[in-house]
Structure 1
Amino acid sequence: MTSGFPDDYFKRPTVARLQDHLDGGTDNYRPDRDFARDLITVAPWLPASVRVNRTHRPRVLACLAREYGIDQVIDLGCGLPHADNRHLPDEVRRMVFVDADPGVEAHARMVLAERHGTVSLRADLEDMPALLAAGPLVQLDRGRPVGVLLHDVLPWIGDGTVPTVLAALRSWLPAGSVLSVTHATTDMDPESMTALTRLYGGAGIGFRPRSGQQIRDLLTSWVPLEAGELLTTASWRRPTHLHPRFDHSHAYAIFASPGDRTP
């Protein structure tokens, strides 16, 4: 390992660089581009899905700031910084970008230095106690609500880790906080999702899309803030639902509160 990067880091695809390439970015390498072609072969809608998820983020930040009065936010599994990262709502005064990928953290430090109130942190969701004890999170005001983005993260971590992550967050978050989740789903194109899971697995990357009911079950201890049916990422807070033919998100968006933290 050199300078914090695994020896094979630039020789194999990574999720963050794949997402960057699928979104039209340039912070990626040949292994990412070659593998992305295979992914698109079985799921032609994948680039559109990545773009939908990325454009969902600024709408969520605006909602957190203007409807819930939240001005401090943690972006867990933030991925490579996009131009959108530089245009946060004025009301967001503190933003902590967290990712386990050393390449993401290096880019984040460079890009996010341009905006006052943003900070990056390299941390792994596999070790929630260490993450929650890190300086940038300790410096947040836990006497006030905190927003947490968990966008396109849960499908990439192990089944045994997801409950631990959610339970740790629920215990740590102050009253009035809001969790925003997006999660790839098998509900819309199960055949393609199965093929994607198989391809990712062959590359040593665990990918776990879930049904809407499975996603609800993960969040059973949380209080949903938007009643009714699960909304796709593309249709969340839209005046009308997209026809399934034109909804390429293949993911659900959920807003939830930690509630009173009773067992």
Structure 2
Amino acid sequence: MTSRLPDGYFRSPTVARVQDHLDGGTDNYTSDRDFTHDLFAAAPWLPASVRVNRAHGPRVLNCLTREYNIDQVIDLGCGLPHDDNRYLPDEVRRMVYVDSDPGVEAHARMALAERHGTASLRADLEDMPALLAAGPIARLDHGRPIGVLLHDVLPWISDETAHTALAALRSWLPPGSVLSVTHATTDTAPKAMASLTRLYAKAGIGFRPRSGQQIRDLLRSWTPLEADGPVTTASWRHPSRLHPHWDPSHAYAILASPGDRTS
């Protein structure tokens, strides 16, 4: 089934296409490139941030498969296909790519969901019952753990939607499941983040980078799996590679489990 693109889809920037342009991709248009020029002026580190945060995905997949024995994964807000989210460890047997952007889902259907055991789905975190009931997700084996990638998604939704989506996921996931979150933060480069927020708002896009404490508050019902709490995506699992005075990610990485669902 083909998703119809909304009128004016190519005349205004979208988050996925802007990210694609920042990463040197070609799936973007004049509206995205013009807007990205303004973003880059406010935060020259943005291309490095996009690359670092995207490279986090394969490292997390390796962690989920090798440390937590997870072989079925949902990538919520998968974004446009790129080298990092084309990567799948051999241990991953089922992968569902999900995005609310109809253009992204069409690309995912062609370029990502081409391997045996993979599927794509257009769905929105604002309607979690429909998302979790959709065929590709409903067909996952709910008797075994499931990994969920929620990478660079929460900054683009409201607190209310984030809390509702996280609560629905926590109730639905089977024991042993793991949630991986990355989230842009105001703890680093706060002035640049404020400028980016204003620029996105002018384009009609809500951007909500949050402090480390605000991110912890969103995940307060989840059980952290790493003792050192949120760390930047650039320093996650390889801090020795970081220059001590420059971290390009401007985002935190967190692993969490649903924990005790009685709380």
Question: Which of the five TM-score ranges fits, normalised by the shorter chain?
Answer: over 0.9
- Corresponding position of 1:198: 198
1:213-252 matches, cutoff 5 A: 213-240=213-240, 242-252=242-252
Greater shift after overlay, 222-231 or 242-251? 242-251
1:89-168 matches, cutoff 5 A: 89-168=89-168
Secondary structure at the residue paired with 1:74? strand
* Root-mean-square deviation (Å): 1.3
Instruction: Write the distance in 1 (CA, Å) between the matches of 2:3 and 2:140.
Output: 29
Note the C-alpha offset of 1:239.
4.7
Instruction: Write the distance in 2 (CA, Å) between the matches of 1:3 and 1:171.
Output: 30
Instruction: Write the distance in 2 (CA, Å) between the matches of 1:112 and 1:192.
Output: 33
- Corresponding position of 1:59: 59
**Runs of 5+ consecutive residues of structure 1 not aligned to the other structure:** none
Is the alpha carbon distance of 1:214 and 1:113 closer, same or farther for their aligned partners in structure 2, counting shifts above 3 Å? closer
Note the C-alpha offset of 1:241.
6.5
Aligned residues: 262
Secondary structure at the residue paired with 1:166? helix
Is the alpha carbon distance of 1:187 and 1:247 closer, same or farther for their aligned partners in structure 2, counting shifts above 3 Å? same
Greater shift after overlay, 86-95 or 69-78? 86-95
Note the C-alpha offset of 1:243.
3.6
Instruction: Write the distance in 2 (CA, Å) between the matches of 1:212 and 1:86.
Output: 29
Report Cα offsets for 1:32-57 as digits up to 9, x if no partner.
00000000000001111110111000
Note the C-alpha offset of 1:230.
2.2
Asked if the contact 1:182–1:233 (Cα under 8 Å) also holds between the matched residues in 2, the reply is yes
Note the C-alpha offset of 1:117.
1.0
- Corresponding position of 1:260: 260
Instruction: Write the distance in 2 (CA, Å) between the matches of 1:197 and 1:95.
Output: 32
Is the alpha carbon distance of 1:210 and 1:3 closer, same or farther for their aligned partners in structure 2, counting shifts above 3 Å? closer
Aligned: 1:35 with 2:38: no
Aligned structure 1 segments of 4 or more residues deviating by more than 2 angstroms? 83-87, 239-246
Asked if the contact 1:86–1:115 (Cα under 8 Å) also holds between the matched residues in 2, the reply is no
